[in-house]
Structure 1
Amino acid sequence: MTATVEAITRAAVSHLQGTEYAGVALCSKGKITTVAATDDLVTEIDQLQYKVGEGPCVDAITHHRTYRTGDLATEGRWPNFALAASAAGVRSMLSYRLFDSSTTIGALTLYSTEPDAFSDDTVADGALFAGHAAIALATAQTEAQLVTALESRDQIATAKGILMERHRLDPAQAFAMLVDASQNSNVKLHDVAAWLIDDTDQLRREFPEPVAG
């Protein structure tokens, strides 16, 4: 994911006319977070938007539209944000909603220290670019989720093997023992498996050796 968002911001600066800096913000559970920025100024301006709750990036995510500013020094749509942003050196912004199907992933925002930096052609080019960026992000998220799932599966399989050997169980019985431990401790199944693999003391506490009768 990190490599993907960083590549997106670098490409935006290289290929979209008028762009001096670029950033990608992702939203999750109602919170917006900047995950890639080509300059510290981007992070500063984004944090300002999140703090005051207004600005092109915030509105692109909230209202599912593209937002282009002229000169932020005279911008009236976001009075609390615009003057502070222009004072920090940013005079133009262009923000696109990034979405997969109907789900908003976040926003791609372009920045310039020049007023009226983004032409109609750039807006059109940026829309196409943002569409491809959203696909790349959705794919990266899916791959990350798959990797996590595969790692969890491997951990659970290893933990089952340990329990099968320790308690002379079949696979179904070993899995049932893991599930019971997960439910009793209110801990996710893959975390219980990781404990069992990595922590011998935890293994003894949660899964004591059977006592011979």
Structure 2
Amino acid sequence: MTLDDAAIERFVQLSRDGDAQAFGELFDHYNEPIYRYIASRVRRPSDAEDLMQTVFVKALEALPRYESRGVPFGGWLFKLARNAVIDFTRTDRQHAEMDDNVERPDAGGTPEELVETRQWVEAVRAALATLTEEQRDAIALRFFAGLSAREAAEAMGRQEGTVRGLQFRAIAALRRQLAIEPGERKRKPVIETSRRR
């Protein structure tokens, strides 16, 4: 479901007034991008599911105190998600590494293609691990969750230019790590962007 800014604000106000159906509309609109962001930052899909639910419970509890103050509801919600991921990684160090939820190649390719894909997936995973925490956040919010630079900045509590700089440096570092020249297209790993049902 796609909601415009006016509809989101209307559903936020209705939710603040106790309308569960309005909050359900907000959940329907934001649950997939929130899940994609969280899943890009934690190892196990079950942890991502749990954290996503935690984010929405916290949002529902904090909604009566929510004031936009120039930060749209989506930015506030992603900030809750980012804080939930940070708290999770602090308390569960064995799952603190970024997991890009790369799907395993199916058996449909040739053995050479399967080996090449697995090698590429491991190279991407290793390259992502070399980024700073903020660079991983910028990449996860921009490319996994699909946020604009402005929305990612709001979620990170940073200026838009800072997030663009983090993104630029992260992409440059990934290119160096993966030996990809600007403009060159390397075979991309298949990234799972939705939950398995």
Shared fold (TM-score, shorter chain, > 0.5): no
Q: TM-score, normalised by structure 2?
A: 0.22
**Bigger Rg over Cα:** 1
From the two aligned structures, give the one with the greater helix fraction: 2
Q: TM-score, normalised by structure 1?
A: 0.21
The higher relative CO (CA closer than 8 Å, separation ≥ 6) is in: 2
From the two aligned structures, give the one with the greater strand fraction: 1
